[in-house]
Amino acid sequence: MKIGELSTLTGCSVQTIRYYEKEHLLPKTQRSEGNFRLYDDASVEHLLFIKRCRSLDLSLSEIRRLLELRYSPNAPCDEVSHMLSSHINHVRARIEELINLENQLASLLHSCPSQGTVKKCEILKNLIATQKIMS
């Protein structure tokens, strides 16, 4: 199959497929006589694996390593578990950062009754005051 069909089957754009090839996440493919890349069912499975990993917000380097391990069936799986555990800790830290961000935004929102003019807007005043502190 050609890249367009692979794109349709997996829901990945052609640009994304080419990017994954450039990043060596997808193995090199055979080419047709017209120099088109040719893919098979294994390519579909491989790309869906990458897509699922990306949906879990795994980095390209993490995915690359998982692919290496996936194709090393006799390797111990503790590295996979460790990688996922580390990623969970990263996600938890990001959640904490996002909660702090939400609290800051809520505080800004509640500082202004949304009545009156922009000239008296407490949100804008607080944003300007914050900028002066950070400078």
For position 25, which CATH number holds? 1.10.1660.10
Q: What's 38's DSSP letter?
A: E
| Average of per-residue pLDDT across 123-128 | 86
- CA–CA separation, 106 and 85 (whole Å): 31
Q: What is the mean pLDDT of the chain?
A: 91
Do 99 and 68 lie in one domain? The reply is no
Q: Reply yes or no on whether the pLDDT at 88 is more than 80.
A: yes
Q: Which domain holds residue 36?
A: 1-75
- CA–CA separation, 45 and 50 (whole Å): 9
- CA–CA separation, 60 and 66 (whole Å): 10
- CA–CA separation, 93 and 114 (whole Å): 33
Per-residue tokens: 2: 């050609």
Tell the burial category of 65 from Cβ atoms under 10 Å away from its Cβ (0-12, 13-18, 19+): middle
For residue 31, report the phi and psi dihedrals to the nearest 5 degrees.
-120, 145
Of the listed ranges 47-56, 112-121, 124-133, the one predicted with least confidence: 124-133
Q: How much is the pTM?
A: 0.77
Do 65 and 126 lie in one domain? The reply is no
Overall domain count for the chain: 2
Per-residue tokens: 132: 């002066």
Number of other residues whose CB lies within 10 A of the CB of residue 91: 12
Q: What band does 118 get if pLDDT is binned at 50, 70 and 90? A: confident
Q: Reply yes or no on whether the pLDDT at 133 is more than 80.
A: no
Name residues whose C-beta falls within 8 Å of residue 30's C-beta, 6 or more positions apart in sequence. Answer: 37, 38
Last residue of a domain, one of 24, 42, 75: 75
